[in-house]
Amino acid sequence: MNVNTAFSAGRLTLYLSGELDHHAAREAARTIDELLDEYLPRDCAVDMSGLSFMDSSGIAVLVRISRRLRDVGGRVWIENPSGQPRRVIDASGIDRLVPVAAGR
Amino acid sequence: MNAINYIKLEFPSLSCNEAFARTAAAAFAAHLDPTLEELGDVKTAVSEAVTNCIVHAYPDAVGRIGLRLRILHDGQLEIAVRDWGCGIEDVEQAMKPLYTTGGDERGGMGFTIMESFMDRLRVRSRPGKGTTVVMLRTIRSRRKRA
Ligand SMILES: Nc1ncnc2c1ncn2[C@@H]1O[C@H](COP(=O)(O)OP(=O)(O)OP(=O)(O)O)[C@@H](O)[C@H]1O
Ligand SMILES: [Mg+2]
């Protein structure tokens, strides 16, 4: 599990790659917390194009990001989910809380 | 029910075994010539069930987890995940979407995901004795499908 970032104009993009399960989630959540503290973004995009696996532990990470951004009046959305992560997003209904951006 | 083929694994409830368990399950399910999507579904369901044993069944200890996969007739894959942990008081309530005893770190979506990715999900549990989750999924061979 890896988290890379890009930041511009108040928007932080988190590029997730690898497998986001319970084993990886604790460290991922800590890394993301630190990034949010460091950049204090207004908006946050979670790019999943490099994510090969995610389960409900990944859903919990998304909920956590959304809670933190909501506290400061910001927005969060998901970009480029595909394959297995996309199916988990659909099955869980997380897109009602963290929307999936229309493909660009 | 007679199984055509099966595997049985046992491992301690360490989170590093989550990836091992779902990868082993996918490797076994490959006998049925599944699609990539079907393999992803098997991996997801195993990951959810095994994570529940690690997080909920043995919250403060390392315990045993059993994983058994069987290929039944007509391309049916049966997945059984078993623990000897704390058990579930009210299974019906535990299976409801968003129900969790895991606090902030969990969303209560595990059983919902297992249910939507598998054809059948059965949960048997006895408080203080442990929990067994049995899932069924029919996998149609790609060759026969073509
Ligand atoms: N093997 C188990 N042993 C004991 N309790 C369990 C077990 N599996 C599930 N539970 C109970 O059922 C509840 C619901 O499980 P479910 O997987 O749906 O959600 P969760 O694990 O709490 O959250 P998520 O899976 O979204 O991270 C758990 O919170 C726990 O109370
Ligand atoms: Mg769970």
Does A95 lie at the interface with B, CB-CB under 8 angstroms?
no
Single out the residue of A97, A64, A53 nearest to residue B106, CA to CA.
Answer: A64
Determine the atom of ligand 1 nearest the C-alpha atom of B100. Answer: 29
Give me ligand 2 centre to Cα B109, in Å: 6
Please name the residue that has the structure tokens 């491992």.
Answer: B11
Residues B43, A85: contact at Cβ < 8 Å?
Answer: no
Sheet hosting strand A75-79, strand order edge to edge: A2-8, A11-20, A43-54, A75-79
For the cut 60, the answer to whether the pLDDT of residue A104 exceeds it is: no
CATH for A2-101 (1.25.40.10, 1.10.10.60, 3.30.420.40, 3.30.750.24): 3.30.750.24
Hey, which residues does A51 pair with through a beta bridge? Answer: A18
Residues B5, B70: contact at Cβ < 8 Å?
Answer: yes
Domains, in order of start, for chain B: 5-145 (3.30.565.10)
Q: Distance (Å) from the C-alpha of residue B13 to the closest C-alpha of chain A? A: 11
10 Å Cβ neighbour count for B18? 26
Mean pLDDT of B114-135: 98
The answer, yes or no, to whether any atom of ligand 1 lies below 6 A from the CB of B65, is: no
Rounded-to-integer distance, Cα B146 and Cα A58, Å: 35
Q: Mind listing the pLDDT tens digit for each residue in B13-23? A: 999 999 999 99
Does B19 lie at the interface with A, CB-CB under 8 angstroms?
yes
Q: Which chain A residues have a beta carbon less than 8 Å from that of B54?
A: 22
The answer, yes or no, to whether any atom of ligand 1 lies below 6 A from the CB of B133, is: no
Helix (H) / strand (E) element for B78: namely strand B76-83
Catalytic choice (B17, B38, B52, B82): B52
Does A67 lie at the interface with B, CB-CB under 8 angstroms?
no
Q: Which chain B residues have a beta carbon less than 8 Å from that of A94?
A: 109
Mean pLDDT of B35-51: 97
How many pairs of residues across A and B have Cβ atoms under 8 Å apart? Answer: 68
Q: Mind listing the pLDDT tens digit for each residue in A7-30? A: 999 999 999 999 999 999 999 999
For the cut 80, the answer to whether the pLDDT of residue A43 exceeds it is: yes
The answer, yes or no, to whether any atom of ligand 1 lies below 6 A from the CB of B130, is: no
Backbone angles phi, psi at A34, to 5 degrees: -65, -40
Mean pLDDT of A70-77: 93
Q: Name the residue with the closest Cα to ligand 1, atom 6.
A: B56
Sheet hosting strand B76-83, strand order edge to edge: B5-12, B64-72, B76-83, B130-138, B120-126
For the cut 70, the answer to whether the pLDDT of residue A73 exceeds it is: yes
| DSSP helix/strand/coil, A59 | helix
Identify the pLDDT of residue B144. Answer: 64
In this structure, what token pair is assigned to residue A73? 């009046």
Q: Indicate the average pLDDT of chain A.
A: 95
The complex scores an ipTM of 0.94
Rounded-to-integer distance, Cα B138 and Cα B30, Å: 13
B113 to chain A: nearest residue by CA?
Answer: A91
Give me ligand 2 centre to Cα A55, in Å: 9
For the cut 90, the answer to whether the pLDDT of residue B131 exceeds it is: yes
Mean pLDDT of B31-42: 96
The answer, yes or no, to whether any atom of ligand 1 lies below 6 A from the CB of B79, is: no
- B57 burial (CB, 10 Å; 0-12 / 13-18 / 19+) is buried
Identify the pLDDT of residue A102. Answer: 83
Mean pLDDT of A42-48: 97
Percentage of the residues of chain A whose pLDDT score is greater than 70: 98
Q: For CA atoms B30, B32, B36, B42, give the dihedral sign.
A: negative
Give me ligand 1 centre to Cα A6, in Å: 35
The answer, yes or no, to whether any atom of ligand 1 lies below 6 A from the CB of B124, is: no
Residues A95, A87: contact at Cβ < 8 Å?
Answer: no
